[in-house]
Amino acid sequence: MLCEHQHYGGSKGAPLRTIKIKRWKRGGWEETLDEVAEEGLLVLYISPGSKITFVCTPKDIKEMVFGYLLAQGFIRSPDEVQEYREEWDFSVGFPGEVVRVEVRLREEVHLPKIETIWSACAGERLELRGLSPFCPQPLFSPRDLLSLPTKISDHVQGFRRTGAYHYAFLFDANLNLVAVGEDIGRHNAADKAIGKAFLCGIPLRESILFTTGRITTEIAAKAVHAGIPLLVSQGAALLGAVHLARKYNLGLVGFLRGQRFNLYCGEAWFKT
């Protein structure tokens, strides 16, 4: 069963705007309507003084914040967030919704005073805080992985309509789809999926994170911080992600398409 943490505010579905455009087709112009994905701003204040601005899809904001904090290694449990305040602002000139969130953590974290994280990349700061490598055990078979794309087809309607969204899917040890993250940024989508499972109390130690975007070093680091042993993509894995996966025994799979995939690291996670 999908985990949908009961939190409301902002847009319920993926925010789309219908606009007039002109399309070149069959040698001439035609006027038509098109659906485009909306960008929003999340301004996250982490007391006592850090400010991070994300360009993101304005939905599942609380889940994204908690997923980000877990996946960056700032917290290990939801109750380490001692205060959470969220305020939506529709009066700002940005062409989309703006939400301001303030959190106070049990332990202070030291971040740059101001940082902006755009939708395409979640920043370059990577600090894996005192983490030990995974101890691999055979959890999944190759056939299990090949079945994953058939389980997500009903959850990518926003991409089919606009071509604008990335998705992240979390599967449990029984290959049940337990959380979906949808965003214009692949890192944000991963944070949302992780945050939904985290807030619902779903164990991540025997889970699979399946992303539609390429696997960057930072997404691999998010999986390690969150305790997710297997990271899978339909696209490529970048070299930094491979190095990090091999250092921490993270299972890393790319180009999961049809009846094949590439395994960059983590053969011990697979049943023979």
Instruction: Express each pLDDT in 67-89 by its tens digit.
Output: 999 999 999 999 999 999 999 88
Q: For residue 118, what pLDDT is reported?
A: 54
CATH 3.10.20.10, domain 40-117, yes or no: yes
More confident of the two residues 150 and 115: 150
pLDDT at residue 93 tops 70? no
Quote the tokens at residue 220: 């691999």
Q: For residue 45, what pLDDT is reported?
A: 94
Q: For residue 124, what pLDDT is reported?
A: 41
The two domains 40-117 and 142-269 share their CATH topology (first three levels equal)? no
pTM, 2 dp: 0.84
Q: Where in the chain are the domains?
A: 40-117, 142-269
9-23 average pLDDT score: 67
DSSP 90-125: --SSSSS-EEEEEEEESS-----SEEEE-TT---S-
123-129 average pLDDT score: 52
Q: For residue 122, what pLDDT is reported?
A: 45
Q: How does residue 10 score in pLDDT terms, banded at 50, 70 and 90?
A: very low
Which residues, including other chains, have CB under 8 Å from residue 42's CB and lie 6 or more apart?
53, 54, 56, 58, 61, 64, 65, 99, 101
Superfamily of domain 142-269: Cytidine Deaminase, domain 2 (3.40.140.10)
DSSP conformational letter for 154: G
Q: Answer yes or no: 200 catalytic.
A: no
Q: d(Cα 144, Cα 174) in Å, to the nearest integer? A: 9
Catalytic residue among 56, 121, 135, 200: 121
